[in-house]
Amino acid sequence: MVPTVEWKNGAVRLLDQSRLPDKVEFLDCRDYRTVARAIRELRVRGAPAIGVTAAMGVALGAQSLSVTTYEEFAQAVKDICQHLAETRPTAVNLFWALERMQRTLDELRALPISEIMRRLVEESQRILDEDVAMNKAMGRHGAALIHDGQTVLTHCNAGALATAGYGTALGVVRAAWEQGKKIRVLADETRPVLQGARLTAWELMQDGIPVTLITDNMAGALMRQGLIHLCLVGADRIAANGDVANKIGTYSVAVLAKAHGIPFYVAAPYSTIDLKTPSGNQIPIEQRNPQEVTSVLGGPSVAPSGVDVLNPAFDVTPAAYITAIITERGTFKPSELAERFRA
């Protein structure tokens, strides 16, 4: 897989996901404002990838500062973090990564500014490397849940593209495939931005993992016919009680899965677990531009001009609908998560 995000020649290089699957193009961000815009415009998306990109954005912004004292430097980095924090509200990985960069900055206060700049780049690279390692660990734990011959339904894109590499939900699929299991993925297209059609289908085809694309409203009928054995999705934020925010439409899949007695799994690293948020009711849900709904990917309008539109980008699946959550530390019931991840 081509890297989603990397530090390259003093810039943050992003695979421009808004161009996929037609074009594999890269965007070299040379300042933190361009990084923030890229996150807002979904050129890079997926909770872990957003976190890694924001961390690199902080390192990039810090490098461009010309200040003399630590206090001036720290204030300017705080402002950069604030700018990046305002891009997207739901994926907690963004805030987790920004806090980690701030913490690193605090710990390095005794060093010369030029050295702190260098160490911030290193820390962002560490966040990236850890993300890939956690995804592989999740794959090892989760692969046991997929049996030879099974079909997995997924929603949105929780793959290599949504992370620094390998993927969360698709990392589990990838691990099962690497173990030689003959499995198939059914990918919900994921209206309105079509991450399933554009990204999940593309990335699985790149790896030769069998994938079949369906529209979002086909899942129920296919479950009823016995064609789906399990559901596996990623997460943007998991609250302390195990409620999960993920791409809009995830909740519908979970309710359908329960109605048909099909297991519903979530795969996510600890950077997605937000123990400060008690339940899904407190998770902020991003509202996006109505044009994403009234047209398909910026094409001609498919709705009457001036129609009222709702466009929440995420929904919350209550813990009661989730069979288990796959993490880098193992697979847990949603109710066990807080205890397992409390520091």
Alpha carbon dihedral 195, 159, 51, 121, in 10-degree steps, equals -130
Q: Which stretch binds ligand MRU (CB under 6 A): 58-66, 111-119, 155-163, 317-325?
A: 155-163
The binder of ligand MRU chosen from 74, 77, 164, 235 (CB under 6 A):
235
Q: Does 234 bind ligand MRU (CB under 6 A)?
A: yes
Q: Which residue's CB is nearer to ligand MRU, number 97 or number 121?
A: 97
Q: Which of residues 87-116 bind ligand MRU (CB under 6 A)?
A: 91
User: Which of 198, 191, 272, 184 has the alpha carbon at shortest distance from 235?
Assistant: 272
Site string for ligand MRU, 113-152 (x = CB under 6 A): ----------------------------------------
The binder of ligand MRU chosen from 53, 87, 104, 163 (CB under 6 A):
163
User: Which of 106, 99, 102, 104 has the alpha carbon at shortest distance from 51?
Assistant: 99
User: Is the Cα dihedral 42, 30, 79, 5 positive or negative?
Assistant: positive
Where do the DSSP E strands lie in the chain? Answer: 5-8, 11-15, 26-29, 151-154, 184-188, 211-214, 230-233, 237-239, 244-247, 264-267, 273-274, 314-317, 324-327, 330-332
Distance in Å, CB of 174 to ligand MRU, minimum = 13
Site string for ligand MRU, 252-291 (x = CB under 6 A): ----------------------------------------
DSSP helix/strand/coil, 153: strand
The binder of ligand MRU chosen from 11, 12, 14, 48 (CB under 6 A):
48
Print the SS3 string covering 100-144: HHHHHHHHCCCCCHHHHHHHHHHHHHHHHHHHHHHHHHHHHHHHH
Enclosing H/E stretch for 160? none
Measured CA to CA in angstroms, residue 228 lies from 88, 145, 205, 225 at distances of: 32, 14, 19, 8
Enclosing H/E stretch for 319? none
* Closest residue to ligand MRU in the complex (CB): 234
Q: Does 47 bind ligand MRU (CB under 6 A)?
A: yes
Catalytic residue among 131, 188, 236, 243: 236
Distance in Å, CB of 88 to ligand MRU, minimum = 7
Distance in Å, CB of 154 to ligand MRU, minimum = 9
| CA 340 to centroid of chain Cα atoms | 22
Distance in Å, CB of 247 to ligand MRU, minimum = 3
Please give the Cα distance from 269 to 44 (Å, whole number): 18
Distance in Å, CB of 91 to ligand MRU, minimum = 6
- Is 236 among the catalytic positions? yes
Q: Which residue's CB is nearer to ligand MRU, number 173 or number 313?
A: 313
Q: Which residue's CB is nearer to ligand MRU, number 120 or number 273?
A: 273
Distance in Å, CB of 231 to ligand MRU, minimum = 12
Measured CA to CA in angstroms, residue 240 lies from 6, 30, 51, 341 at distances of: 31, 37, 20, 9
Alpha carbon dihedral 155, 161, 165, 169, in 10-degree steps, equals 0
The binder of ligand MRU chosen from 6, 236, 315, 328 (CB under 6 A):
236
Q: Does 313 bind ligand MRU (CB under 6 A)?
A: yes
Pairing of β 273-274 and β 237-239? parallel
Site string for ligand MRU, 195-214 (x = CB under 6 A): x-------------------
Distance in Å, CB of 171 to ligand MRU, minimum = 8
Residue numbers annotated as active site:
236
Binding site for ligand MRU (CB under 6 A): 45-48, 91, 156, 158, 162-163, 168, 195, 234-236, 246-247, 313
